[in-house]
Amino acid sequence: MKMKGKALVTGGAGFIGSKIAERLIDDGREVVVYDDMSTGHDYNVPKEAAFVKGAIDNYDLLRKSLKGVDSVFHFAASASVIVGVEQPVFDLENNVKGTVTLLNAMRDSGVKKIMFPSSSTVYGENKIPMKEEMQLNPMSPYAVGKIADEFYLRSYYNMYGIEPVIFRVFNAFGPNQD
């Protein structure tokens, strides 16, 4: 079967990232899973995917991993609101610095598409049902980081033409979830 392009899935050994990697493979894409394995698991990595163990702030390894890639699915993050409250500097460095490092590596590699899961936490305690046009009301460092990532993605589009697809995830659950 002829491949339909090559994708890098950061956090691809985690709950959602692994499902994205599987779907891309099912759709005929070549996939590179990039994960530091801090919360991911070997058994989540599809056997058909290439695997790179690395931190999301490792610019040189990201550049190497982006060779031949046409799109990035960025799921590498500390996804715990509690960790962000208890360790806000870690949350900032891992989530925001990691995203900016990835964007710089993409810019320098010529990769122009990125899919990014933001979070419903950017809305804080708002009335239900929540709507995209609601005012952002972050109540945790994690939520602030997601908003910062969204703005970095938009600015890299304006400056370098890296096209983001940003979607805000609400209560994801399913197979491979811890």
Catalytic residues: 142
Helix locations, 28-177, DSSP H: 59-65, 81-86, 88-91, 98-109, 141-160
CB-based contact 162:103 (threshold 8 Å): yes
Exposed e or buried b per residue across 50-79, where buried means at least 16 C-beta atoms within 10 angstroms of its C-beta: ebbebbbbbeebbeebbeebbbbbbbbbbb
CA separation for the pair 178, 168 (Å, rounded):
20
Beta pairing, strands 30-35 & 50-53: parallel
CA separation for the pair 156, 160 (Å, rounded):
5
CA separation for the pair 86, 11 (Å, rounded):
22
Number of H helices, E strands in the chain: 6, 6
